[in-house]
Chain A
Amino acid sequence: MTLLDVRGLTVRTTDGRTLVDDLSFSVASGERLGLIGESGSGKSLTTLAVLGLLPDGMSATGSIELAGTQIVGAPEKRLTAVRGRDAAVVFQEPLTALDPLMRVGRQIAEPLRVRTGLKGDDLERAVAHALEQVRLPEPERIARAFPHEISGGQRQRVALAMALACDPKLLIADEPTTALDVSVQAEMLELIDTLVREREMAVLFVSHDLAVVAKVTDRALVMKDGRAVEEGAVHTIVGAPREEYTRTLVASARRLESALDLRSAR
């Protein structure tokens, strides 16, 4: 069953520039799709458009159907109902994604309260549970902490807990590990992988890093200058890229990696 169906999505600015150009793709329930591209390729705008979160001065045309709801042109009220329930997002920078003045627990409680109507002790337990889910040690302590009091990796786990709190059908992850250290990144990727597998959740994973995308998704869409360049299984794209641009991308990644292999002959 198709969960997300994007047809002819075009994002334009008010001064007439086209940032995403006639993009089409779909994600089935439980499927994991990677959006790969370099800065300016329109991959992040695409995810924002899916949630109806495009910044002022940009407008989308075409069709985005998310779990049966048309997102393009939808009134704010309908979008609020979709966000969190049908699709939730984890952004790149956990420090800006979290409210610095609000304790972590309250930030997770907010969507839970609105969606589930839980109150008091029940709500508190649900928050602790959400934090445990993302393998945070001492959930009670973390819930009382402010974002600046915990590490970057912990913050990103909190952001993931917020996204997963209402059991969305689709998790959108926009470069969720780019701001993290390598060893923390490895843990985080494994965590995302395990959690979405357990829940049979669909994932739209955005990254510029082919190797990172390959860890989580089965299929990938390569974007350049707002257009789709190539789509297919991650293994095929990495192993036998068809388009010139994809070839350059893979070759660059391979070159850096081979330097590492040469040095660390294993």
Chain B
Amino acid sequence: MTPVLELADVALRYRGSAGNVVEDVSLAVEAGHSLALVGESGAGKTTLLRLLLGLARPTSGRVRFDGSDLSLRDREQMRRFRRSVQCVFQDPYSSLDPRRRVGATVAEPLRSLGIDTRATAGPKVAAALERVGMPADAADRYPHEFSGGQRQRIAIARATVCTPRVLLADEPVSALDVTTRVKVVDLLAELKQEQGLTLVMVSHDLSVVASLCERTAVLERGRVVEQGDTGQVLGRPAHPYTRRLIESVPRLPA
């Protein structure tokens, strides 16, 4: 089967920087599967996500979407791409426009992708908000009226309103309290299950990765040091860096 998203021998070097930020990265995301990108700050996780989102172009190598090279100039392809691939960011406090009502924010992808106008978006917005467990009147309110966990639900509603095939999430729960974290992890698992959503998640939290993703790629200083089935990678880590990450996770006393 052709992967939905694929990075082939990708390297990226930011202008003015001495070396490559990511190098020799090959990853494939198959439809309906989920992939976690794990690593510490500076490992290049977010850079890979930017490449997968078409927000950055690789210095060398290729980014493929549905088997064909992603070309930022091909407007028709980019429109299909944006409709299929949406994202959720880490900080729900900065990723929502404080001056727009929640309904307008959630409707934005529908408008910008030309699927609906403001007038016809209503039912889809309501459905998206309901799917993430938000009250019906949420659309008329502003982001500051909601807690962090609720805001992240709103961000997920915005990302899923145009029924994308792939959801890219950059540390979607790390800004949340543990009880809220569990609820948002459950929500993502549910969307994966029920909508057949493909999930690519960047995270440094191995327990969240283990709860959600079937496959895991471990990044260290811009290179993938290990990738495979999550059970395999976390259960029998082959690389010392992976082992160190796993051992560092603080555990509750028995």
List the interface of chain A (C-beta within 8 A of B).
38-39, 152, 181-186, 189, 208-212, 214-215, 234-235, 238-239, 248-250, 252-257, 259-260, 262-266
Question: What is the chain B residue whose CB lies nearest that of A182?
Answer: B248
A252 touches B253 (CB 8 A): no
Q: With a CB–CB cut-off of 8 A, which chain A residues contact B246?
A: 264
A256 touches B181 (CB 8 A): yes
Which of B177, B204, B210 is within 8 Å of A260, CB to CB? B210
Residue among A38, A184, A212, A239 with the most chain B CB within 10 A?
A38
Other A-B pairs, 4, CB within 8 Å; known A185-B250, A259-B208, A263-B230: A183-B40, A183-B245, A256-B181, A260-B234
A210 touches B252 (CB 8 A): yes
B177 touches A208 (CB 8 A): yes
For the complex formed, measure the closest distance between the CB of A144 and the CB atoms of chain B, giving whole angstroms: 23
Q: With a CB–CB cut-off of 8 A, which chain A residues contact B204?
A: 181-182
B210 touches A263 (CB 8 A): yes
A255 touches B182 (CB 8 A): yes
- Interface flag for B41 (CB, 8 Å): yes
Q: With a CB–CB cut-off of 8 A, which chain A residues contact B148?
A: 39
A214 touches B234 (CB 8 A): no
B207 touches A257 (CB 8 A): yes
B207 touches A208 (CB 8 A): no
- Interface flag for B251 (CB, 8 Å): yes
| Contact status of A260 and B207, CB under 8 A, knowing A38-B177, A152-B41, A208-B178 | yes
For the complex formed, measure the closest distance between the CB of B45 and the CB atoms of chain A, giving whole angstroms: 11
Q: With a CB–CB cut-off of 8 A, which chain B residues contact A265?
A: 235
Q: With a CB–CB cut-off of 8 A, which chain A residues contact B205?
A: 182, 256
Cα–Cα, bound, A257→B252 (Å)? 8
Which residues of B from 174 to 192 have beta carbons under 8 Å from A? 177-182, 185
> Considering the complex of A and B, which 3 residue pairs feature the smallest CB-CB distances, nearest first?
A181-B40, A259-B211, A38-B177
| Contact status of A256 and B211, CB under 8 A, knowing A38-B178, A208-B177 | yes
- Interface flag for B75 (CB, 8 Å): no
| Contact status of A264 and B179, CB under 8 A, knowing A182-B204, A182-B248, A256-B185 | no
Q: With a CB–CB cut-off of 8 A, which chain B residues contact A238?
A: 252-253
For the complex formed, measure the closest distance between the CB of B200 and the CB atoms of chain A, giving whole angstroms: 18
Cα–Cα, bound, A12→B153 (Å)? 31
Question: What is the chain A residue whose CB lies nearest that of B229?
Answer: A263
A38 touches B179 (CB 8 A): yes
- Interface flag for B138 (CB, 8 Å): no
Q: With a CB–CB cut-off of 8 A, which chain A residues contact B253?
A: 214, 234-235, 238-239
Which residues of B from 12 to 71 have beta carbons under 8 Å from A? 40-41
Which residues of B from 183 to 218 have beta carbons under 8 Å from A? 185, 204-208, 210-211
Which of B178, B180, B206, B234 is within 8 Å of A209, CB to CB? B178
Question: What is the chain B residue whose CB lies nearest that of A234?
Answer: B253
Q: With a CB–CB cut-off of 8 A, which chain A residues contact B208?
A: 256, 259
Q: With a CB–CB cut-off of 8 A, which chain A residues contact B252?
A: 210-211, 214, 238, 250, 253-254, 257
Bitwise, B231-253 to A at CB < 8 A (1) or not (0) is: 10011010000001111111111
A257 touches B182 (CB 8 A): no
A263 touches B234 (CB 8 A): yes
Question: Could you list 14 A-B pairs, sorted by A, with CB under 8 Å?
Answer: A38-B180, A183-B245, A210-B178, A214-B253, A249-B178, A249-B179, A252-B181, A253-B178, A253-B252, A255-B211, A256-B185, A257-B207, A257-B252, A264-B210
A182 touches B41 (CB 8 A): no
Question: What is the chain B residue whose CB lies nearest that of A255?
Answer: B182
Cα–Cα, bound, A239→B252 (Å)? 9
Which of B40, B178, B245, B247 is within 8 Å of A252, CB to CB? B178
Q: With a CB–CB cut-off of 8 A, which chain B residues contact A210?
A: 178, 252
| Contact status of A183 and B244, CB under 8 A, knowing A189-B250, A254-B252 | yes
| Contact status of A252 and B210, CB under 8 A, knowing A210-B252, A211-B251 | no
A181 touches B41 (CB 8 A): yes
Q: With a CB–CB cut-off of 8 A, which chain A residues contact B177?
A: 38-39, 208
For the complex formed, measure the closest distance between the CB of B204 and the CB atoms of chain A, giving whole angstroms: 6
